[in-house]
Structure 1
Amino acid sequence: MKKTFEVSDKLFELYHRVHRLVNESMTEEGVSLARSKFLFFLSKLGPCRSTDIACALNFAPRTVTEAIDGLERDRLVMRKPDPEDRRAKIVSITETGRAVLQAAEHPRKQLIEEIFSALDDEQLDQLYDIVSKLVEKTDDIRKRKEEAEAAEVAGAHQS
């Protein structure tokens, strides 16, 4: 059991170190990793409501609103009235936002390549397979928890 936790701790340590380095390199180019997630989402899926962004990125609506406020202030995104719901706004990435995102993408990729150059192709394949199994297991656990919660709610409604 000790080895499981040691490996888990190493994975978390790696994640945090890579995250920090990638964030620093992207921030030097004008957009943090967190802000780039919003820009990347909008560049791929196109204009959408902030509630769609919150749902897709699993963020609280308030967090998304604050992030969009900052991105709009920096002219990286813009809001327009939703033609189908006058209370809502449609958010889209601007050309400036696309340029900033593209500029930050190069150092991110370069850094990831440098980090993973410590592994040969066979090790990369093995790591991919191992991480894929762990992702699949976490999905199974999440699904089981959601099913248990749904059954609990259904049982409460029948009482």
Structure 2
Amino acid sequence: MKSLHDMPEGAASASVSLDRLFELAEVLGTLMEHGVAERGLTRARAGLLWALFHDGAMTQRALAGQLGVTPRNVTGLLDALEADGLVVREAHPTDRRAMLVSLTESGRTLTDGLRRGRDALALELFGEMPASQLAAIQDGLETVLARLRAIDRVDG
């Protein structure tokens, strides 16, 4: 196996870039953990609320698919969020076997606060960045994400 020192300059630069992405993921993950914990949530519960905030009411099965978890996992998350008054489950209007999940007013208020926090962080990070630099970052990240998704499809 080659060491980093034996690799061509481009490969070494790519390795450094990946190291920076790992560091970025760790820092953003920590920020997310603190942000949702301040609101009495876990990342999993916040992710479920975020999905409902962006896509509106949906069935438990659709939520499970969107979050990439089992329906049983969604049931546990919903039990806790419903007990906290953040979501409500109601009979689906056209499918007697399904439950439709939606945010309560408290759930919408909480997720709106999460969105405002995200927007404030985005402004702090990117607000003074030249448009061309921001566009380059976005393009580079899109390429990286597409490649990671392709790797995940191959391995998964």
TM-score, normalising length: structure 2: 0.76
Identical aligned residues as a percent: 31
Structure 1 unaligned spans of 5+: 150-159
Q: 1:96 corresponds to which residue?
A: 106
Q: 1:48·1:91 contact (CA, 8 Å) conserved in 2?
A: yes
Equivalents in 2 of 1:12, 1:50: separation in Å?
Answer: 32
Q: 1:115 corresponds to which residue?
A: 125
Q: 2:52 corresponds to which residue?
A: 42
Q: Does the residue aligned with 1:18 lie in a helix, a strand or coil?
A: helix
Instruction: Report the AA paired with residue 35 of structure 1.
Output: R
Structure 2 unaligned spans of 5+: 1-10
TM alignment of 1:49-60, pairs within 5 A = 49-60=59-70
Q: 1:49·1:91 contact (CA, 8 Å) conserved in 2?
A: yes
Greater shift in the superposed pair: 121-130 or 33-42: 33-42
Equivalents in 2 of 1:111, 1:142: separation in Å?
Answer: 29
Instruction: Report the AA paired with residue 59 of structure 2.
Output: R
Equivalents in 2 of 1:70, 1:94: separation in Å?
Answer: 14
**Equivalent pairs, count:** 146
Equivalents in 2 of 1:41, 1:138: separation in Å?
Answer: 22
Equivalents in 2 of 1:37, 1:57: separation in Å?
Answer: 8
Q: How far does the alpha carbon of each residue in 1:133-153 deviate from its partner, in whole angstroms, 9 at most, with x for none?
A: 22232344455x38xx9xxxx
Q: Does the residue aligned with 2:98 lie in a helix, a strand or coil?
A: strand
